[in-house]
């Protein structure tokens, strides 16, 4: 549709307020509401379910039809034909790289996988059982104290080197969180390995012996990073954009995104799914938990189900489910107890009127935890892995915002507090 006009008539106002309606390449049109302010109105949209705070060319989601495109490419096709680093290049630059460019990009990332030795001192300050997301949030924020050579956010070359450093170093830092948690020595990156192989090497290798990396698990790990790479203006990406709108340095913005992702309603759901399946414990208990999930007075929710945007299946969950079957069969775990509970729970939920009416389908987190558990990744590391995969999405959105004209984000409110009143006179 072409851009067109809307007219808002409000009872008691003589004149309607004229608003512009704009169309994107795909998806919903938007109504530009700036004229409301000069007419002394705000819009009211708790949870920003109906608010588009920006233009973007990076990712498109059609929630009604379960469509997810990264720079126009469907997630199913990227999952089948691409890999995580190629998808990183696509998200950052807008086009798929040719073979030469892809090799150059892989080499650039490879040259930035080590972190400054001083960062190890940050980890020694954490309790041994600190949650990996607490550690990751701290050390990524601290990275802004190391790169004084590239902190001019108006310089595209500084923004690019920062993106490369973050993509390259997140697996190293995430693995260091795990090593600190289990009290083992940190493993340095091995640049002869692929991105996902390197992560598994740093997670499970020890200086005492080389750890054989199963290629099926490495491919599943790469796919988990790829499926988590970006997802439009979700809570953590919106947090990164809002932090970036003040001109804050990119490492602090990514640390803010990590903090927002940690919540169980968002990236913390993958850990919560496993904890829920463990809590259900046996298929015979599923009906009781589904009943609780439907009870308004019971705070229990089926973790890994539902989505703000997808009111159909989450296309990532379909790919994740297929990978889950492949990984568990490779490991001879087809009869995995949690997988059996998960599959039965999914079947029951998808046939239950409550979930059908509310369009609650499994989301990206429902099966990812089972795969990561099968790979041997501890549950507390799941969200740190989500953050590692999502870093490219966060920094791509940050870069898109900073590369174009932007203003500091400053939402308003519907004030429901006291009218002005005077301080009581001293007795
Ligand atoms: C991610 O935004 C993104 O793109 C996020 C993400 C990404 O890649 O960045 O896709 C990653 O965060 C996936 C979502 C992971 N979270 C979970 O799996 C946690 C469980 N899901 C819910 O908490 C919930 O579904 C949300 C948070 C995902 C969505 O919440 P909304 O859009 O605010 O929906 P809602 O809470 O208003 O629920 C609508 C209705 C409610 O009932 P009513 O008040 O209308 O009667 O559905 C019910 C809810 O009670 N409901 C659930 C439910 N999710 C919603 N009931 C039971 N179990 C659930 N999981």
Structural contact between residues 239 and 257, judged by C-beta atoms closer than 8 angstroms:
yes
Counting ligand 1 atoms within 8 A of each CB, the residue from 241, 304, 306 with the most, and so the one to mutate, is 306
Q: Is 358 in the pocket of ligand 1 (CB under 6 A)?
A: yes
Edge to edge, the sheet with strand 30-32 lists 4-8, 17-22, 30-32
Ligand 1 atom closest to residue 363's alpha carbon, by position in its atom list = 13
The verdict on whether 148 is a catalytic residue reads no
Instruction: Name the residue with the closest Cα to ligand 1, atom 52.
Output: 301
Instruction: Name the residue with the closest Cα to ligand 1, atom 40.
Output: 358
Q: Where are the alpha helices (DSSP H) in 183-335?
A: 195-204, 215-227, 235-244, 250-261, 269-280, 286-294, 315-330
Q: Is 276 in the pocket of ligand 1 (CB under 6 A)?
A: no
Q: Which of 307, 314, 352, 397 is catalytic?
A: 307
| Its pTM surpasses 0.85 | yes
Q: Is 307 in the pocket of ligand 1 (CB under 6 A)?
A: yes
The verdict on whether 62 is a catalytic residue reads no
Instruction: Name the residue with the closest Cα to ligand 1, atom 39.
Output: 358
Instruction: Name the residue with the closest Cα to ligand 1, atom 48.
Output: 358
Q: How far apart are CA 303 and CA 369, in angstroms?
A: 11
Q: Is the dihedral of CA 367, 308, 81, 204 positive or negative?
A: negative
Digits of tens for pLDDT over the chain (427 positions)? Answer: 677 999 999 998 889 999 999 999 999 999 999 999 999 999 999 999 999 999 999 999 999 999 999 999 999 999 999 999 999 999 999 999 999 999 999 999 999 999 999 999 999 999 999 999 999 999 999 999 999 889 999 999 999 999 999 999 999 999 999 999 999 999 999 999 999 999 999 999 999 987 899 999 999 999 999 999 999 999 999 999 999 999 999 999 999 999 999 999 999 999 999 999 999 999 999 999 999 999 999 999 999 999 999 998 899 999 999 999 999 999 998 888 888 999 999 998 889 899 989 999 899 899 999 999 999 999 999 999 999 999 999 999 999 999 999 999 999 999 999 999 999 999 8
The verdict on whether 307 is a catalytic residue reads yes
Q: How far apart are CA 366 and CA 270, in angstroms?
A: 7
């Amino acid at each position: 549709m072409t851009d067109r006009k809307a007219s808002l008539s409000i009872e008691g106002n003589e004149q309607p307020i004229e608003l512009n309606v704009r169309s994107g390449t795909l998806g919903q049109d938007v109504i530009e509401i700036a004229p409301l302010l000069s007419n002394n109105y705000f819009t009211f949209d708790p949870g920003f379910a109906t608010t588009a705070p920006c233009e973007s060319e990076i990712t498109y989601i059609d929630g009604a039809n379960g469509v997810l495109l990264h720079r126009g490419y469907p997630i199913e096709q990227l999952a089948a034909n691409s890999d995580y680093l190629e998808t990183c290049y696509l998200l950052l630059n807008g086009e798929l790289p040719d073979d030469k460019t892809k090799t150059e990009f892989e080499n650039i990332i490879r040259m930035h996988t080590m972190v400054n030795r001083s960062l190890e001192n940050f980890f020694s300050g954490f309790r041994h059982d600190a949650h990996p997301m607490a550690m990751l949030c701290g050390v990524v924020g601290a990275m802004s104290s190391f790169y004084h050579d590239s902190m001019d956010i108006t310089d595209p070359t500084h923004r690019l080197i920062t993106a490369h450093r973050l993509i390259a170093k997140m697996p190293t830092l995430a693995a260091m969180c795990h090593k600190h948690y289990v009290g083992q020595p940190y493993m340095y990156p091995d640049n002869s390995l692929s991105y996902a192989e390197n992560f598994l090497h740093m997670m499970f290798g020890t200086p005492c012996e080389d750890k054989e990396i199963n290629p099926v698990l490495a491919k599943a790990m790469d796919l988990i990073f790829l499926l988590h790479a970006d997802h439009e203006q979700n809570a953590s990406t919106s947090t990164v954009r809002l932090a970036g709108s003040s001109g804050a340095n990119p490492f602090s913005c990514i640390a803010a995104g990590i903090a927002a992702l940690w919540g169980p309603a968002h990236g913390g759901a993958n850990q919560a799914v496993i904890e829920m399946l463990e809590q259900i414990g046996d298929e015979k208990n599923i009906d009781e938990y589904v009943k609780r999930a439907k009870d308004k007075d019971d705070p229990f929710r089926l973790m890994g189900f539902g989505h703000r945007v997808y009111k159909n299946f989450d296309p990532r969950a379909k790919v994740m489910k297929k990978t889950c079957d492949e990984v568990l069969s490779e490991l001879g775990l087809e009869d995995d107890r949690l997988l059996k509970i998960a599959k039965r729970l999914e079947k029951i939920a998808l046939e239950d009127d409550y979930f059908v009416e509310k369009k609650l389908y499994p989301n990206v987190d429902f099966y990812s935890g089972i795969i990561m558990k099968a790979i041997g990744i501890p549950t507390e590391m799941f969200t740190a892995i989500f953050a590692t995969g999502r870093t490219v999405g966060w920094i791509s959105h940050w870069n898109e915002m900073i590369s174009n004209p932007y203003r500091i984000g400053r939402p308003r409110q519907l004030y429901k507090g006291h009218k002005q009143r005077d301080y009581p006179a001293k007795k």
